């Protein structure tokens, strides 16, 4: 069932009716009470029981959102916190989400030079080549840090090619945090911003032979968190063949107007992520008042609201 990653993602978006991605960023201390029986984690609890609760929660969230959205983004940091057992849990959720028919993005933000980056690419994007993990799959795509230039990106592109373009990459171009401007927002001698020049590099790499699918999009996308409308439109223009992975809708406070320019006029070209607003919907009075202690209904309702809000944003 190998198919070009971007084509596959776009088909999944069409099937579900919205370019919506739920971010799986689980924090033990915020889990619903019926999942986290005890909350003594920071006082020296066994890491295993905390992790079990986190994984149980994530499995149930994945089951809730799978019929509603085309993709999930699983953030490795929230699992690495539980050391190797957390990493095993991360990979188990990748299987879970893939089995539920979701496009799975591993938010790992890895990057290194040459052959070291190659091992990261093998670990996080290539399907396992070990007999004992033969029935496992890696995420469909991962996020990477391109500060190293092409050398750091190339090994990931090689894995994409080894998998007949069935895999994807999202390179960090512009992030959503306040201090992102300290480096990404610097102005170069030709008047461009660093993030814009990174966008040009991404576009050059993305349009390399064989990487663009029949949808017109490449296996190499970009993480773009919109700042203002003008800069977003500029980045959109600089990377016409890249799908934008757009964080920050919901809890991080990006508005519809900010997100809109990540799309092309035909409504394609972006996948928008909401994490905390869905994951912790039961902490939101709006949903809590509706359902009292039924956290699963809160999560489902907020996910539906996210999809509806996004549909209103996407150009028709």
Part of the chain binding its own copies (CB under 8 A), chosen from 94-102, 160-168, 182-190, 282-290:
182-190
Q: From its phi and psi, is residue 164 left (phi > 0), alpha (psi between -120 and 50) or beta?
A: left
Interaction between residue 231 and its own copies (CB under 8 A)? no
304 touches its own copies (CB under 8 A)? no
Q: Which DSSP symbol is given to 26? A: -
DSSP 18: S
Pick the closer one to its own copies by CB: 176 or 231: 176
**Backbone phi and psi for residue 143, each to the nearest 5 degrees, phi listed first:** -90, 145
CA–CA distances in Å: residue 310 to residues 63, 257, 276, 284, 302: 21, 11, 16, 19, 12
Looking at the Cβ atoms of 115 and 289, the one nearer to its own copies is 115
For residues 106 and 24, what is the distance between their CA atoms, to the nearest angstrom?
10
Is residue 158 near its own copies by the rule CB under 8 A? no
Tokens matching residue 79:
């699992």
Please state the closest distance from residue 228 (CB atom) to its own copies, in A.
17
Which one, 108 or 219, has the nearer CB to its own copies?
108
- Give the residue with the Cβ less far from its own copies, 38 or 292: 38
Q: Does 123 bind its own copies (CB under 8 A)?
A: yes
234 as an active site residue: the answer is no
Which tokens is 213 given? 């699918």
3 state DSSP class of 112: coil
CA–CA separation, 78 vs 28, rounded Å?
9
The secondary structure element, H or E, covering residue 153 is: helix 150-162
Say whether residue 19 binds its own copies (CB under 8 A).
Answer: no
Site for its own copies in 53-82 (CB under 8 A): 75, 77-78, 80-82
Binding residues for its own copies, rule CB under 8 A, total 70
Q: So which residues are the catalytic ones?
A: 109
Enumerate binding residues for its own copies (CB under 8 A). Answer: 25, 41-42, 44-48, 50, 75, 77-78, 80-88, 91, 109-114, 116-117, 119-120, 122-124, 128-134, 145-152, 172, 175-184, 186-189, 191, 194, 197-198, 201
């Amino acid at each position: 069932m190998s198919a070009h990653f971007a084509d596959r993602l776009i088909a999944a978006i069409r099937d579900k009716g919205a370019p919506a991605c739920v971010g799986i960023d689980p924090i033990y201390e915020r889990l619903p009470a019926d999942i986290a029986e005890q909350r003594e984690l920071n006082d020296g609890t066994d890491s295993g029981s905390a992790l079990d609760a986190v994984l149980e929660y994530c499995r149930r969230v994945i089951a809730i959102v799978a019929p509603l959205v085309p993709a999930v983004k699983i953030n490795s940091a929230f699992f690495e916190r539980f050391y190797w057992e957390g990493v095993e849990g991360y990979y188990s959720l990748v299987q879970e989400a893939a089995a539920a028919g979701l496009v799975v993005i591993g938010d790992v933000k890895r990057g290194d030079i040459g052959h070291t980056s190659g091992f990261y690419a093998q670990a996080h994007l290539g399907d396992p080549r070990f007999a004992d993990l033969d029935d496992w799959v890696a995420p469909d795509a991962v996020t990477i840090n391109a500060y190293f230039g092409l050398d750091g990106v190339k090994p990931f592109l090689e894995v994409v090619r080894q998998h007949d373009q069935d895999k994807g990459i999202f390179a960090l171009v512009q992030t959503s945090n306040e201090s992102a401007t300290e480096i990404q927002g610097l102005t170069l001698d030709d008047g461009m911003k660093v993030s814009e020049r990174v966008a040009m590099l991404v576009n050059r790499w993305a349009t390399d032979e064989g990487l663009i699918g029949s949808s017109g999009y490449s296996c190499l996308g970009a993480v773009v968190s919109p700042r203002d409308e003008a800069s977003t439109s500029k980045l959109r223009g600089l990377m016409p063949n890249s799908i934008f992975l757009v964080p920050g809708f919901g809890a991080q406070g990006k508005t519809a107007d900010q997100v809109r320019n990540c799309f092309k006029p035909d409504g394609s070209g972006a996948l928008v992520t909401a994490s905390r607003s869905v994951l912790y919907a039961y902490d939101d009075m709006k949903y809590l008042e509706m359902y009292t202690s039924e956290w699963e209904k809160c999560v489902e309702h907020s996910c539906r609201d996210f999809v509806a809000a996004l549909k209103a944003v996407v150009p028709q």
